[in-house]
Every structure is written in structure tokens, then in C-alpha cells.
Amino acid sequence: MKLSEAKHQFISSWGAYGSNWGINRTMAQIHALLLISPMPITQDDIMEELNVSRGNVNMNIRELINWGLVQRVIVPGERKEFFSAEKDIWRVVTQIMKERKKRELEPMLKLMDTLEAVEGDKKDKHVKAFVDTVSNIKKTGRHADKMLDTLIRAEESWFISALTKIIK
């Protein structure tokens, strides 16, 4: 397979996977393009490579920066802004976990605290089922939260080998 074809497939698949994760196609494609770029590139490069409008590139780059996956790079002597992505995929993964934990898991656990305090007779099966579900979500959520903290902090190889050892 030729490089150009392989690149194309990579970008297009990365875009498709993104949509299963609440990420829009263009954003995922920009990320893919940056991942395989040996040097930082500009908005114009991205526009040309992916055939999308300036506004679209601008919005999605900004969002990638919010997620901590892409950085603005100053190239001396150049007036344009350049962009580059974190290349270590494990760090990409932990960065995403960190953000999603903050944006989704933590607020959800807060909500569950509120909902757990529902009024009503705990012997009523509807009340009981509700409270049980909410408590169970809290419990599982807290566990997930701890696990994610551990994962995020741990060095990859270290973690895997430790994990594999205790599992064996």
C-alpha cells in the first residue's frame, strides 16, 4: 500500500471511530492528520488536506486544544500559527480519560448524591428500586473514579506488568 492511500484510510477510519465517541468526524480527522504529521502544520494545510472550510478547521482545532490533545506552536520567522498533536497514544488516552472523568463522571456522582435523598417510604418498591439503583451507580462510579485515577497516574508498562502479575 502506498503512503498516500494508507494516510487516507487512517484519517478516514479515525474519523469514523470518533463518531462512536461523541466526537465529530472533522475533529477526529484533524487529530488523525496531526498524529501522522512529522512537523507542525497550519490551518491552511489542514483545509487543503481534508477539504474542509476555514471556520470548520478553526472551531475543531480549538476544541482539540481544549481537550489538551493539540498545541499551538510558534515557528520563528512565521506569522501563521502552527499546530501539533501529542504523539504518545498512551498519553492521549490518559488525557481523554482525565477530561471525561472531570466533565462527566464527577458531575454524575454529584447528581446521584442529590437523587439518593429522595423522599418516601423505603418499603415502597418503587422508592426502593430507585434508591437502590442510584446507590449502585454511586458505588460503581466511585470505584471507576479510583481506578481511573490510578491508571492516569501509572506509567503504562509499570501498570500492565503489575496487573498481569497479580492476575496470573
Partner DNA sequence: CCGTATTTTCAAAATGTTTTGAAAGTACAA
Partner DNA sequence: TTGTACTTTCAAAACATTTTGAAAATACGG
Q: Which residues sit at the interface with a copy of itself, rule CB under 8 A?
A: 1-3, 6-7, 9-10, 13, 17, 19-22, 35-39, 87-90, 93, 100, 104, 108, 111, 114-115, 117-120, 125-130, 132-134, 136-137, 139-141, 143-144, 146-147, 150, 154, 156, 160, 162-164, 166-167
User: All 3 cell numbers of residue 78?
Assistant: 512565521
> Does residue number 80 form part of the binding site for DNA (CB under 7 A)?
yes
How near is the Cβ of 52 to DNA at its closest, in Å?
A: 3
68 conformational bin, left if phi > 0, alpha if psi -120 to 50, beta if neither: left
* Stretch touching DNA by CB under 7 A, among 32-40, 46-54, 137-145, 147-155: 46-54
Q: Which is nearer to a copy of itself, 38 or 77 (CB)?
A: 38
Nearest to DNA of 35, 45 (CB atom): 45
* CB neighbourhood size of 95 (10 A): 16
The Cα–Cα gap between 69 and 153 comes to 17
Nearer to a copy of itself, 44 or 120 (CB): 120
